[in-house]
Structure formats: C-alpha cells, structure tokens
Structure 1
C-alpha cells in the first residue's frame, strides 16, 4: 500500500494487521480520487472509519489542508500513527480515538472552525449505517452542502439517490467494492 499522488506520492503505508479491517486497494483509491477530481485547493477532510489512515493521508497529499481521522480499533490506531509519521507532517492530522460519534462530537464543539469539505465513509461492511452517519454528521453541523461525500461499501449495497442535501452523482463498482459519490446542491460537479 502506498500514497498514490501529491506531496507524499509513492511513500509506503502499512496495512492494519489481522482481518478486522479491509484496506482500500491502491487501484480503488486511485480511481476514487479520480472520480472526485483528483486534487484539492484547501479544506478539511474527515475519515470517520479511518482504518490505516490511507484515505485521509491521500487527501492531504493531494491538497487538503488537514484531516481528522476517527478510529477505535487499537491495532488500527497504532498503524495510523506509524503511517502519519511517513508524511513527516503529523501536525496536519488529528487522530480521534475511541467511539467515533463521541470523540467527533467533542472535537466539533471545541475545535472545528468550519464544516468538512471532504468526507470518507468506509465502515466495516457488517456494521454499515451510512445513511444514519450522514444524517448525524449533518445534524452535528460538521458537513454541509459544500461537502463531498465518498462512501465505500460492499458491491451489493445500494444507497439512496439523495441523503441530507446531497445527491448521488456517481456509482462505480470495483469487484466486490462499490464507491458512491455524493455532492451537495451547491457543490455539484459532473
């Protein structure tokens, strides 16, 4: 696994040991970023189920100002910390440990100055509750109509055409993985 492009391009990243996480392959990660435009001018990224941290690291490598990563699985937290060291810019990342709803709520009320511009939702497939997550994030006011939402699911999952001010604009299958891209009404790109 590696960073595909940008400031950290080609740097090697570690995968979380064991079978409890399912890392996004480099091929899927590259395609995913191509679907959302490839590079960014600024903004803050949220990875609600960070795993190895690879998606947030890729987003910052490609131009996001910073990223917030949520993770509760201890081996994943250790892997994220190791992968953040590879960037040599650990200060651009905030790792929230423990229950993602509780830790993100605390972070949002004390430190978040603006809504996230990019949101990754790649939950464990057997615990997938993407619609509820998006609704909760909307109610918490950490996402808005300028937020691009990228959801990674099993290929047999079909998400609705509209969730909380966001329209489904792209769906792409990669073997057993399906990527759903949502854009807000004020941020729509084709």
Structure 2
C-alpha cells in the first residue's frame, strides 16, 4: 500500500524507517526496512493475507503491476508467492531507493522498479506482455484511482482474465471499472475497503 496514511516521516524530511514483513511464500517471515515518506506504509498483514488467499489460484506465474508500489508490500509478496514478474512503479526517490535495496536484498530477479508517476507511465506504457494482476492502492486523499482504471483500458496492458485489486476509503463509492470486469471479492478492514475484480472477456 502506500501513501494514504497520515505522515509519520521525521521532521527533518529525511523520512523515518519502517518495517515490512513478507507473510507467505519463499520469503515468508523476511523483514525489510522501508523509508516512511509522506506517510508511506505497507498494506496490513491481515489484508494482504486475505488478498493473496483470493489470488492463490492465479498468482503462480502471473505478471504483476503495482502502480503505487511504495514499500513494495504487494509486489514483493506476489513474487514471494510465485509470480513470474512484478513491475513496481514509484515516484518518490527515497521510497524507490528503499524498494530497490529490498529487491536486491531478496534477490528478486522478477522485480522491475521504475521511477515514474503512475498516470504518466500508464499513458505511455507498452509492455512486452500484458499484465495478469494489477494492484491499485493510490493515496486516499487523491483522485488517482479512477483515471488509472480508465487508462488500463489501453490495448496491450491487461491480459484476458486479468485481475484488478483496489483499496479505497470505505466511505468512498466503488470505482468505475473498465468494461468486461466484474467484482468478485469485497471486504472492509477498519477504514479500508478492498476489492478484487476479474475480466470475463478478452480485452487485449
């Protein structure tokens, strides 16, 4: 997850250090440090456990995209559980540096970190292969989720049967997903509503 929690960064602006734990797969139990910039913090263990139980039948060998990578909690968890690759988009330099360090520490050969704004990246992205799973957890106080979902309709970005995961404030209405997507899972945890959508047609 990423930037939607209240900031816990240090007054100096350098950013405090937080800790992330991988909860399943080959790196289960590994603890990683990350830079807490602009309130960045990972998706909680309970939510991640539920999400990856939902994704268990399709995560092995999947090509994943995490558009607001932050600490890497979702993308690295996916790789730990057998995803073939994870493209991690992060615009904050300090967060990206921590993310790259953690990928190196884990030997996460399937990870690709990219310094970019999610919207700008989606407008230009031309992946060699479409993505099977996309994680969308933008800052709650922004309106970034809907334009990202719209841009994901660009040809070549999503595979047939792709899954989209979103996190929003539970008080917010559900986002409008691309055509041919259906809501398959939905759950609340605290002030968070998290949802999993699935494509039921070939949209590539």
Other-structure match for 1:150: 165
C-alpha RMSD over aligned residues: 2.1
TM-score (ref. length: structure 2): 0.80
Quote how far apart the aligned CAs of 1:104 are: 4.7
Quote how far apart the aligned CAs of 1:160 are: 4.6
Cα-to-partner distance string for 1:12-39 (whole Å, 9 max, x where unaligned): 1223324432421112111111122366
Aligned match for 1:167, one of 148, 164, 182: 182
Aligned pairs for 1:1-190 within 5 A: 1-37=20-56, 40-89=59-108, 91-106=109-124, 108-109=125-126, 112-160=127-175, 162-186=177-201
Cα-to-partner distance string for 1:64-118 (whole Å, 9 max, x where unaligned): 10110101012211221122123213x3111110222334555x33xx2211000
8 Å CA contact retained: 1:135, 1:164: no
Distance (Å, rounded) in 2 between the aligned partners of 1:19 and 1:29: 21
Other-structure match for 2:10: none
Seen in structure 2, the aligned counterparts of structure 1 residues 102 and 163 have a Cα distance that, compared at 3 Å, is: closer
**SS class of match (1:158):** coil
Seen in structure 2, the aligned counterparts of structure 1 residues 140 and 14 have a Cα distance that, compared at 3 Å, is: farther
Distance (Å, rounded) in 2 between the aligned partners of 1:39 and 1:148: 9
In structure 2, the gaps of 5 or more residues are 1-19
8 Å CA contact retained: 1:42, 1:63: yes
Seen in structure 2, the aligned counterparts of structure 1 residues 31 and 15 have a Cα distance that, compared at 3 Å, is: farther
**SS class of match (2:129):** coil
**SS class of match (2:70):** coil
Of the structure 1 ranges 28-37 and 54-63, higher mean CA displacement relative to structure 2 is found in 28-37
Query: Following superposition, which runs of at least 4 residues in structure 1 exceed 6 angstroms of deviation?
Result: none
Between the two proteins, the alignment pairs up a number of residues equal to 183
**SS class of match (2:28):** coil
8 Å CA contact retained: 1:105, 1:140: no
